[in-house]
Amino acid sequence: MSEFQTRLDALLEEFELFDDWEERYRYIIDLGKDMPPLDASEKTEETRVLGCASQVWLVMDPAPEGILRFRGESDAFIVKGLIAVLVRLLDGLPITEIQEFSIRDTLHRLGLDEALSSQRTNGLISMVERLKQASRA
């Protein structure tokens, strides 16, 4: 089993504890609140993710070759929580696993595909594309 699958399974188990979307929504927001904020100097045009309705920044951190490390922040609580989900699932994984990652499949497995607006889903797609681009660089 891949590291990604292990992480996704753990997140799926956590989500199963909640009866409805509203509880999952609050949990995602709480995940975002637990993330350390980016330094103001890291919130630049270079780190800003275009295609998101809210302000989103993703910072790639130095890592051993073949591994992608990143952190992020948003000015919207739910989006910051969604970034926290991405960090939990993808941070520190081999680049090959990140290249194979499907945000649509993952949202479906987490039961978030029907709960998130198309605008939020498009924002997540933009974030994942930024991560995939960084991992190719």
Active site amino acids: 52
Please, what's the b/e burial string for 47-62 (b: 16 or more CB within 10 A of its CB; e: otherwise)? bebeebeeebbbbbee
User: How far is Cα 6 from Cα 8, in angstroms, rounded to an integer?
Assistant: 6
Tell me how far CA of residue 137 lies from CA of 63, 92, 107, 133, in angstroms.
13, 16, 26, 6
Sign of torsion over alpha carbons 122, 123, 124, 127: positive
